[in-house]
Amino acid sequence: MNQFFLLQGVSKELHPFAHIIEFAIKRNSTVQLNSFNETSSNSIRIYYVLEGKFEWVINDNHHILYPGDLVLIQPGHKFGGQKGVLDIGKLCWIYIEVNKHEPDERIMFGRWSSLPKNEILAIGKILRLCNTPVLSRVKEAGNILNEIQHELLNQQIGYFTRTNQLIDELFILIARKLTLQNDTHRDFPQSFMHLENALRQNLSHNWTVEEMAAMVGLGTTTFTEKVKSYSGFSPLNYLITIRISEAIKLLKQNDLSVTDIALDTGFYSSQHFSTTFKKLTGYTPSEFRKKNISNDQDQ
């Protein structure tokens, strides 16, 4: 791969691809001060090491990178070279603009992506929740980047579609590698615990089975079977046990309204909350609160 540098707004090759902010291959043969200071941006930045050894600080953590390593910088995360210096070697990078939705910081791709919405959400979730920004030995990523370069520079018939497909492929590859890396696919209880923590951290999110399955790195059918045999519940029913138990704690604290509790714990309305709660416990949320705040009749 030869060196090149494409920049959105400057390079005409990127004109049809508003979501590609930068795409480049750079060979660095001298070490210069302040050549690689810490920055952050709103796009997802993907780096792939072709040659050499790099020492970077990503979101305040130190990483050493070797050829074949892929680095994923989340939107808003800081990153730069150790001491602001870019080490000697060869790198390829691509910056892709994504939309981040408040309040749960959901990552969405633009209309360029041909992936269905639920898969994008699942991939976005995996990217966001990954606890390591570095994937080792991902030669496939190098191949995809190479192909993207080929499409952009040669502009054969269909290159517009093909380039976007390749970016989709790159994200799928990264998401799969991240799930494989997180848990070795050996310890279901451990993976399930990761999932449990993710669910609890973001209980108000409208979780789908697809998203949950993706976090564990399984297809929805296998995932549902595994969860059922491990926990006794379907994934969504398991989620309900967490929602209701969190809701009970909030009801007993008596400082949030029932409606707020319903929304905080992921029910779409206080009506939905009340019905589910009553069906399970026999009490409406307000009755339950009353019983537990002054349950003198039981003493």
Partner 1 sequence: MTKISNNRKDCVITIELGTNAVRVFAFDLNGNIIGSAKGAYPTFHPEPDYSEQDPEQLFITMLYVLKNFLNETVYAQKYKVITICFSAAMHSVLPIDKNGVPLGNVITWADNRGKNEATALKNSSSGKTIYKSTGTPIHPMSPLVKIAWMKNQDKDRFKKTYKFLSIKSYIIQQLTGNYIIDYSLASATGLFNIHKLKWDADALAYAGITAAKLPELVSVFHPAGKLRKEYQTSLGLSADTKIITGSSDGCMATLGAGVWGEGKATVTIEDSGAMRVVGKEILKDEKQRFFNYVLTEDYYVSGGPTNNGGVIFEWFAKQFGVFKYAYGIENCMEELINDASKVAAGADGLLFLPYLLGERAPIWNANARGVYFGLNINHEQKHFARATIEGILYEMYSIGKTLEEHRSIKSLSVNGSFGTIPFCSQLIADIFNKPVAISKNTSSVAQGSFLLSATGMGIYKNLDDAAKTVEFAETFTPNKHNNEVYKKYAGVFENLSTKFNAEFEAIANLQQKNK
- The C-alpha atoms of residue 191 and residue 189 are separated, in whole angstroms, by 6
Among 21, 65, 141, 218, binds partner 1 (CB under 8 A): 218
Q: Least distance in Å: CB of 194 to partner 1?
A: 11
Nearer to partner 1, 76 or 232 (CB): 232
Q: In terms of Cα–Cα distance, which of 111, 57, 45, 49 is closest to 84?
A: 57
Among 37, 39, 201, 237, binds partner 1 (CB under 8 A): 237
Q: Least distance in Å: CB of 127 to partner 1?
A: 20
Answer whether 281's CB lies under 8 Å from 243's CB.
no
Can residue 280 be called a binding residue for partner 1 (CB under 8 A)? Answer: yes
Question: 182's torsion region: left (phi>0), alpha (psi -120 to 50) or beta?
Answer: alpha
CB atoms within 10 A of CB 175: 20
Can residue 244 be called a binding residue for partner 1 (CB under 8 A)? Answer: yes
Nearer to partner 1, 106 or 290 (CB): 290
Nearer to partner 1, 71 or 227 (CB): 227
Can residue 188 be called a binding residue for partner 1 (CB under 8 A)? Answer: yes
Which two structure tokens, joined as six digits, stand for 236?
Answer: 């969504």
Residues 6+ apart with CB under 8 A from 2: 25
CA angle 29, 34, 91 (to 5 degrees): 40
Among 100, 196, 205, 220, binds partner 1 (CB under 8 A): 196
CB atoms within 10 A of CB 291: 14
Among 252, 260, 269, 272, binds partner 1 (CB under 8 A): 252
Q: Least distance in Å: CB of 245 to partner 1?
A: 4
- The C-alpha atoms of residue 117 and residue 28 are separated, in whole angstroms, by 39
Which two structure tokens, joined as six digits, stand for 124?
Answer: 């976005």
- Give bridge partners of residue 60 from the DSSP assignment: none
Among 185, 257, 260, 268, binds partner 1 (CB under 8 A): 185
Q: In terms of Cα–Cα distance, which of 270, 274, 293 is closest to 283?
A: 274
Q: Count interface residues toward partner 1 (CB under 8 A).
A: 40
Only one residue has tokens 């994008």, namely 120
Return the CA Rg of the chain.
24
Among 193, 221, 236, 260, binds partner 1 (CB under 8 A): 193
Q: Going residue by residue from 106 to 145, which x/- string records binding to partner 1, judged by CB under 8 A? A: ----------------------------------------
Among 249, 260, 275, 286, binds partner 1 (CB under 8 A): 249
The binding site for partner 1 (CB under 8 A) comprises 184-188, 191-193, 196, 217-218, 222, 226, 230-233, 237, 240-242, 244-246, 248-249, 252, 278-283, 287, 292-295, 297-298
